[in-house]
Structure 1
């Protein structure tokens, strides 16, 4: 994965190879398949390049079709499905080896005033300055050195915000340019990092357990309010259901001062491959 925030920004800077056709490069990684957040972020970056300035993303809905190959670039084709007076819709297909690996529909809106309400930020979370890093928590759970986890996820600063393992503080590990579209792409990248694990926690299992075959199946993200991805966001997660070897989880992202800036929903594969289900 990107070894620094600068590498992540470069990863999201796609090469335009033709009209509505883009190529995304791959980072060095020990992962066996492309991280889903990378495809989300790159697909959103591709779609955003085809939309008029002044329109900002407000939602995306995506399906992961095949595991991505980490050794070759990903090609993103953008279809301009509609440009209306207030909204622009795009469809993105990501492909490798001549086959689609990912579909995404996304919508952009011209900012306008309207009614405003939100749920409050959860109480009793550990402040980010006092919270343990995700790499140290994973080291304790898996036995794999924290430095190994840091090498894969060093573009992000992620910390455990609650004892349940369902709340995390998350931000880019450094300063980002003042480009809202880039901040949205970085948040899309980060939104896939811990969410699938929420559906394993009720069963006393952590993501990375070799008795489970995990994979993101679909992913939806709604952007509610302005934010910066290089400032702390509380990622509050829960899993309403797991069944049929699939886990469903939702998440809410709040700024430190309590503004709800995004909501996430995801269903993922959590197939037991070495787990005794009779217990």
Structure 2
């Protein structure tokens, strides 16, 4: 797996080096009312995704930005690699919306199992994933930590515009004026599908509390034949500290941008009392009493 990851790191470094040659005046793209990073996404790619052909054995990881996407991708890739040693490395980025039209066409030749990730809203995921009942692992994080992590990501990421202040970013986060739109819209959409047999929802906080249990749940969900020893080894290599230590080897110069703190409760470093109360009210309005709302354990993780 290390060789496969070093290939990804090289591709990322080449991409970042290429950014120096590009005009960054227009960093954001709007497609069907949703903002996306213009240097990674294109209207042509989104159109190609609408007719993407999926397979029953495909594996999809879905998360709102900064809720654990790369963490879960690392774990699932390690699992697939352990079960399929001869499988070639994935072509290009595994994030669906970062693939160009030619990449989407080339995916037809990629052997199974194919692993994909996305930040797309449920309604914007290629319909073939839903029609073919592809197994979808959905990761959610409490909205306060997600907002703070997303703020830092905006300011460290060369493909996104800097937020002038936390206060400004907070208001944009609350109104859904950020890339991939509203956290709460994403949550409400997935709440309606939590009980479907091909969907499993886990939380960032539960995984932080007991990663070994989470790894076992993921392996069982994707029906991957891993021994207890193999699952524990994968969990040991997937702690935040372990992934931070190897981030430059796995993700090149983008590693330190992706992996910042990975903590639960870091929201207290930026939220004011008024902002906390505004988020509390939004959660109450949108998610209180829902299955996903209960699973997020909001009172435990989001109260001063």
- TM-score, structure 2 as length reference: 0.26
Higher strand share: 1
Higher helix share: 2
If asked which structure has higher relative contact order (CA below 8 Å, sep 6+), I would say 2
